[in-house]
Each structure stands twice: as C-alpha cells, then as structure tokens.
Amino acid sequence: MGGMERMIRRFVNIVAERRSSDMYTLHRLDVSKHLFFPSTAAAEAANKTNGKVSILPWLPAPTMRFEPSPTTLWDAGKLEMFALVSPRSCEDRILCSNTAGHTTLYDAYWGWFMPMAISVARPGASEEDLYVMNTSVDLGYGLSSFADLRNGPSSFDVLRFGSLGSDRGWRWDPLPPPPFAGNVRSYTVVDGGSTICVSTREWRQAGGGWVLPFDGAAEYVPDLKLWMGFSSSDSQQLCAWDLSGVAKDDKPPTLEHSWTDLKTPKEWSPSRISLINLGKGWFCIAKTFRVVNGDDGGESFHLDSVEDKFAVLTGIQMVNRGGGQDDQEGIEMIRHKSIRYMFTDEMIRWVL
C-alpha cells in the first residue's frame, strides 16, 4: 500500500442472495484493488479532481454457495444470518445460521465446514469471545424453535463445559434475561469487551438519562482511542465518539468528529449501512440504496416508487495528523474509492 501502514485485512466478504432461488453465494472482494489507492496522496488527488463512484459490473467469482438446510419447521429453512466469528483478528471464519437453529462455521481460507459453529476461547486467550443473544428464534404466532414454552423463551445463553449427570461436555445454560427488552437499537462494547452497552427503542432512566448516539454498532478503533459509527440522527454522518467514561463514570458519550463519507443525490434513500473495520485505521463503508421517485423529497416511499436497488462500497482511511496518538484534533478522514453494484439476479445481503 505504497508506504502506508498496512491494514490487517485483505478482503471484505460479500454474501449475495439470488432472486431466482434461496441460495446464497460468498464473494471475496480484494480491498486493495477495488477500494483503495496505492497511497494517501493519490487518494487526496483523486478527491480534488472527481471523486466519482465507479461501477462494479459484477461481483468476484463466488468461493462458496450456501443452500437452506432441510427442516420440518414452517418457513425456517431460509438462511437468516451471516457473521464473522472474530472480525478484529480474522477475515476467513464465517458463521452462518438459519431460523431453525442450524449453524455452521465456514473457513474461507481452508475451504472447510464445521457444524455447530461456536468459537469458545479459554480465559485470557487472544481469540475473541462470542456472545449469543436472542437464541430463541421467533417463528411468529408466539412460537419459538428453541424456547421451552412452559418457562418462556431465553434470550441470553452461555455455552458451558461441565458435567450433566454422568456425561461431560458442552451445553447451553440459560442466563437471567438482561435488564432490557424490546428491539435493540444500538450496541457496542467497552472495557476491552467486558461490558456490553445497549440502547433500545424505549426510554429508560440510565444514569443521566442519555442514550447511545449511534445507529447499529459502533466500532472501537484502538489506534484512535475512539468509537466510530453512524449518527442516529443523520445516517449520512460518520462520527467518532469518546465512550471511555460510559461504563465506569456513567458519562454520556462525547462527539469528537463528524464527516460526510459520500455525497449522494436526494433520491438515493439508504436502507442499510454497515462499517467494516479493516484494521490500522482502514474501513469499508457498505450502504444499500433505493432510488425513490415522487415529490416527497425522498422522505417516504411506496413500493411502486422504487426504481432501483444497489449497493455502494467506499474505502476510507483515518489519519492522525496531530502531534501524537493522544492528539484527537488532528484526526482526518481520507476517502479513497467508491464502487456501485446494481442488483440484478443477485442482491447483496451482508458485507462482512
């Protein structure tokens, strides 16, 4: 990468769904080729001249295809979730699960599968823990595939190794439900992952009465000592907050920086946004857009007003031009390349 500190990851993983079937395909996009210039200077020069969004005519060749698991549960075979097991340390291990609870780990580097894919790290290990929440999959009509209907569903479980009668092995133990309910609006971790911060759609008194100011997940960036995410009040604003006092001192997050990563026409309505941390201050921003017609200025839409649906992936670099690591004033966002992929038979569902 032309004299710059190298990012940890080489690929972003794109999971696409075929319109003609329930099959999902995994594509691995080389970020150095598609999302970043060879140097920071080249990126800054490109921003001064055009800064246009290039067209990605097709996705990279699929490395794996995923089909729904056979099941007797009603409408439960469709794959519903893909995630990286250790996003801050490994780009290859992908967890895939459907609403029936069938879970598999796929290693994209070695090309092998492992059923019941739960990554369990010993205490003190460098590998990340995996928190499993909402394991009681709601199938509608008040039914749950994992729940004991007599005791109600469990929404927080721990995978524990120990004795169960005469047998020893791994088993799921339900934990008391967390002190929140309803739809989780935003979430992140602090204190090295030992504290989970969550905001829901309901107002509750929590210390000073503040809520997490970002939409979805916020990524902690150790090199900047800040948390990055998209503002809950303006989804086009990429922001950096200081959450260091949230867990211990109950201090509300402090907004340190705000940037517009991509200027878009008014009729582009974002429907999904994700921030992928590539390591060492490098990020991929993935946004899914609708193109909306009408005189409402894009504030609302109907199905018959949607013309197109596409995804835009943007590579950005965070640079600290200040006097040292603790100098937050000198942090800048450098936009590199943006590519647009139009949805035809394949729609992008996850970018990991």
Q: What are 255-270's pLDDT values in tens digits? A: 999 999 888 888 888 9
pLDDT of residue 136: 38
Q: What are 100-133's pLDDT values in tens digits? A: 667 788 999 999 887 754 444 444 444 444 444 4
For 40, 60, 102, 145, 341, the CA distances from 158, given in Å and listed in that order, are 44, 37, 17, 18, 39
Q: Domain ranges in the chain?
A: 3-102+111-135+153-294+302-351
Right CATH number for 3-102+111-135+153-294+302-351 from 1.10.3470, 3.40.50, 2.60.470, 2.120.10? 2.120.10
d(C-alpha 178, C-alpha 184), whole Å? 12
d(C-alpha 86, C-alpha 127), whole Å? 7
Give average pLDDT by consecutive 10-residue segment, the chain, 352 residues. 65 92 91 95 89 92 83 58 81 80 83 64 44 40 37 53 62 63 70 72 56 86 88 87 78 88 88 91 94 59 62 94 63 95 92 95
